[in-house]
Structure 1
């Protein structure tokens, strides 16, 4: 706009200058033409015209000079403005270039920001997954640690139990040896002493065979005497118990029969009392109806006579309780007849009391019946217990008889053992001369029993050793399985940790740009734009 305005002013000045230049040239030409053609004399009008033209020329020249000065000023201004325009256009171009560069850089920054946000989201997801993996790993580690602690505790407990078992086995073996010694000292002729003696050397066995035979004979005689005493005592106890049982059984049978008779008599009395109660209720109902009729009319005496006549059959009952009830009802009826309708409430109360008393009596009778039945049941239970006790005593007596027979059979054992070191001819002669065949057979039985006991003792020792070995093997196997499970769990834990590390390395992206550097660049660009 400024350039256009300057251009217009310049054109206007040029037009004015051209007009001024053309006007003086035309005036001299006109003057010459007039001077040549006519050449008139100058007049006052011509001088005034000349002065006007000269003043006009002067004014025009002043205007021209002013306009020229203004033109120069405008040209100078134009040049200065042109220079300013060029500088401003250059600045504008530089600013546009800077703006384009900044816009490109901002686009790059936005792209980097988007990439960084994506990377941040990926890192957040990785962090979340890593936290989840860490929590699962911690839980797995806790579980494995608890299992490891439990396995260690189990191992320690098994070790303690094995040590305790070993100690208890040693203590039991020591106690067994001590008990064997104590029994051998206290009862040298007992079976345990014989077992311990049989474990001694063969030289001692040959030297002590005669003494052991004598001890066995004495022991057998003592056992026979004890068995006879126990048999006689058991027979006496059995006879006493049988007599007591018979007496108690007879007593209980008679008592049960008496109780059954009492129950039957009580049932008859109860049935009679029930019939009597029903009859009295009917009489009371008839009396109440007669009393109502007497109140309606004026025949109270006939009602009393009828009531007294109805009471007569009640007195015909032979039992004393029935007579007492009849007298009570008779007195009640007489009183009610005397008092008429004013005492009906008292009659009802007395009737209720009588019914409650009869109900209580029936309840007490029922309780007595139940008590009798319970006593009968208890007696039957006692009888069954006594029968069981008798059966147990008979079994004990049978066992005593069996033991006596066994002891009699065992008499042959010590005799054969005492004669084992001699020649068979001497043994036969001695047995035939001095020994009883029953004693010889019992001694043989005792020797066989001793051998069986020795074999049983050895078998028990072997079984105990086998059980200990099996327990030790099972304990070792269990410890090996615990160690194997611990090793497998540790291996699994290491594999899971390696897999977790590998997964983290695999999921982590390869970022070429520095996150913090890009963030600083973005911040700087934003500051520059602002």
Structure 2
């Protein structure tokens, strides 16, 4: 019975409210405004959802571009490592060329010494030829005088003189053969001694080559360690820059405004936690220091390259001077050999002198063959030098181009990071302020809702008391109507208050949506918008509860 009475009273109150609303046009206008506002809220909600979708798309696009940048950075690092390896190889080849140059210089000095010795030998041969020619003239004169004397004293002994002359000729032939055999033996001994010396020199050169190889292997290992250090610095740099590109809130927001920001990079598998946003100035200084260090290392490499170019130019000049001196010495040697060959054609020499000249011609022939071999080796070395110079110049150009490209890309990345970090910070600060204001509004709305619930409970208790006093309630109908009017006024005031609150929150949401449109690269826009949508849903629930109280 009590429930039926209360239901009848509630229906009666509803009918009275409907009659009042129909009678008063102001309430109808307010209802229409409320419906229009509900439609506006729905449109704003749809626009916010569209903005959220666009923000997600931009986030995925930025993530893919970031992955592409990381892959390009890795490729550039690989290219740097390959270029450094090729540079080390060409350094080793340069050292080998310098060693070959030193050998050529030694050979040229030896040739100069041999030329000097041959000049002295030529002078001594000239003197001996002059002395021998004088002796031969004296002997011929003496022979003629002896023949005249013998012809005067013994005119019949001409045949005996001829036999004696033949026997002397055979003796001279035997002595010439002995001299030739002795000369051949001495030449063979000289050849064996030269082979031993060349083998010793080859062993010494091989030992030096092994030593230089070990040195350059150790130098290459040092360079690899340096490259690994540079890679670690680049990784640290990417980690520090990723702090400004990927951020997220950790758990709930504490009361003392200390926000934690997490970073997730592709270089490391685990998550790294950093300090508050205000403390991110130290990594920026470290990044600037690392950038300065990298620029200094690049300048040092450029200075090293310039010094090496100067050294190569000096080597070229020295090689050209050595070529000129070698040509001059060859011309002098050819002239001396021609003079010797022209002066050694003595037909009136005895057989001893003829054998000696033959042995000298054999030595000259061997020396000419050795000179031709040296010329061929020198030409081969020149060709190798020209090829190595061309390859070195090409590598140097490629390295300079790669270094300039790396510097430009690095500077562009730094400028992009700096330009993207500053608006993101401003947006974070603005959104933090807006979230705080929304939280304060929500707490106030919850407090007011609690007050409304208390008033509703009080009203229900009074209605129950009124039902218990049934007879008294029929008499006091006018008093209940007055109380109902008072309650309706309170409810209308609360509705106005909540509508004003809702307008303010909508304005804040629209401003935040415009800011999120201007900067869509922020990763936390979606979370903030979800929080705002949650706050809006709670406010709609509060309004629904207030309207249900009517």
Do the two structures share a fold, i.e. TM-score over 0.5? no
For the pair shown, which has the larger CA radius of gyration, 1 or 2? 1
TM-score bracket relative to the smaller structure? 0.3 to 0.5
- TM-score normalised over the length of structure 2: 0.34
TM-score normalised by L of structure 1: 0.36
